[in-house]
Amino acid sequence: MRQAVAVYVLLLFYGSLYPFQWAARTEPLFGFLLHPGAAYLERGDLLQNVLVYMPFGLLLAAWWARRHRYWLALPLAVLVGAGFSVAAEVAQEWLPARVSSAADVAMNVLGTLCGALLAGLLRRDTFSGARLQAWRDGWFARGAIANTGLVVVALWFLSQTSPLMPVFGLWRWRRALAPLYFQLQAAMPVSLPAMICLACQFAALGLLLRALIRPGRPWWRLYGALLLAVLACQVLIDGHTLRLEEVAGAALSLPLLARLCRSPSTSAAGPSACAAIVLLALAMALGELTPVRGGWLGGGFNWIPFRGHMRSLQGYTNILEFLWPFMAMAWLARQVSAPARHHRIALAGGVAVGAAMFALEWAQLSLPGRSADITQVMLACAGWCAPWLVEEWVLAHPQPATA
């Protein structure tokens, strides 16, 4: 766990101090704490500060709760998050491209607190955590590897619903449903590649859920509930709209999934996992190689990691969109391969994923409306590596024997 905390601290450090162009400080050292920076406040920026610090709080609280009581780990995580945020804002006073703000500190602390509270849901010694864990044990396989699969499902859901800020009102629902209405009236185009891409992703997610859920449980009910929740969130969540591609993709995934589950060739775990991996790879390739209608040819290859993902909620969503499919591929591959071959599969698969993603990004240099970014390659490789690293941690920390 401490390795995950260290990696996330480095990512926060990188994101807070980018682009590392230093200059003499012109403001008082802690002057930003006396004003909120109202001239620079944007809703998207504030939400991103909360979302970025939530995993930090979750990791810190989960790590310290392994050695201390959770209710002690909770305030410690918040204090560390507040201290790190203040230190980052102070360092930004030497960066002309960045603006230090008390509002950023407040949102970072709020994000750390939300993440630390979320960690309580993952523990059995809290009331809410005990109830959630009892439900989880009744539906899903136990263990850290199964939990990794659940993390994949959670990342998929977040990628579809980020930033999870519902807005209630007739004006909001009319705006969210307008694209679907105009597409049904043939007044707006429908993207067939996007529809196929979503159908493949939804079907692959269904196969992953089928592998996660205990035998005898109606996994298809949970799958249907997730699909309906995602479609409903497109209407309720601020910044989202419901489009025909999403509705049709969800509808097409149902017969596709039913066909795959009935086929004798995919009735076993191995063929089913292979089918899900193929669907995810097809969706990724189709999504990356589809040109944008009316778009201009992009510039050169971006070699600076996360340059286009900072200070933008869309960048945060894009990170999730590239992490979860490759985590799912690795988790499925780990489930159906012999343990003696895991190291070779992890290494060979990592090389193949990196090479394939680099080729896809390079191909986008000649596609209208697309841009080539090394960040996507890094995210794909990180997503592929994560489930294998969890397995290494489990092997190095076996569960104590129980009587």
| Cα-Cα end-to-end distance for the chain | 27
Give the closest residue to 116 by CA, choosing from 76, 149, 151: 76
Question: For residue 110, is pLDDT > 90?
Answer: yes
Q: What is the pLDDT of residues 170-223, one digit of tens each?
A: 888 889 999 999 999 989 999 999 999 999 999 999 999 999 999 888 999 999
Q: What are phi and psi of 94, to 5 degrees?
A: -95, 5
Which residue did the predictor score with more confidence, 67 or 55?
55
Question: What are the backbone angles phi and psi of residue 35, rounded to the nearest 5°?
Answer: -140, 145
pLDDT, tens digit, 9 for 90 and up, residues 9-46: 998 989 888 888 888 877 777 777 776 665 456 666 77
pTM comes to 0.87
Q: What are all long-range contacts of 133-140, with beta carbons under 8 Å and residues at least 24 apart? A: 138/214, 138/217, 139/213, 139/214, 139/217, 139/222, 140/212, 140/213, 140/214
pLDDT of residue 178: 93
Query: Over the chain, what is the mean pLDDT?
Result: 87
Structure tokens at 53: 């610090």
User: What pLDDT does residue 298 have?
Assistant: 64
Short-list 156, 155, 250, 139, CA closest to 194? 250
pLDDT at site 325: 96
Percentage above 90 pLDDT, the chain: 48
Q: How far apart are CA 330 and CA 277, in angstroms?
A: 9
124-128, 225-229, 343-347: least confidently modelled range: 124-128
Q: What is the pLDDT of residues 310-327, one digit of tens each?
A: 767 778 888 999 999 999
Average confidence (pLDDT) over 133-162: 90
Query: Mind listing the pLDDT tens digit for each residue in 285-308?
Result: 999 999 887 667 667 888 988 887
Report pLDDT for 403: 38
Q: In whole angstroms, what is the distance from residue 374 CA to residue 363 CA?
A: 13
DSSP line for 3-44: HHHHHHHHHHHHHHHTT-------S-TTGGGGS--GGG--HH
Domain ranges of the chain: 2-135, 140-396
Q: How far apart are CA 103 and CA 367, in angstroms?
A: 40
Task: Give the pLDDT of residue 168.
Answer: 76
- What's the pLDDT at 164? 72
Q: What's the one-letter identity of residue 150?
A: L
Nearest to 4 by CA among 81, 56, 54: 56
Percentage of residues of the chain with pLDDT beyond 70: 91
Given a contact cutoff of 8 angstroms between Cβ atoms, the answer to whether 95 and 14 are in contact is no
pLDDT at 265 over 60: no
Per residue in 341-371, pLDDT (tens digit) is: 999 999 999 999 999 999 999 999 988 888 8
The confidence band for 399, taking pLDDT boundaries of 50, 70 and 90, is: low
Instruction: State mean pLDDT over 241-255.
Output: 95
Residue with tokens 């993709």: 249
The residue among 107, 35, 48 whose CA lies nearest residue 313 is: 48
Closest C-alpha among 234, 244, 157 to residue 194: 244
* Confidence (pLDDT) at 396: 58
* The pLDDT value given to residue 394: 61
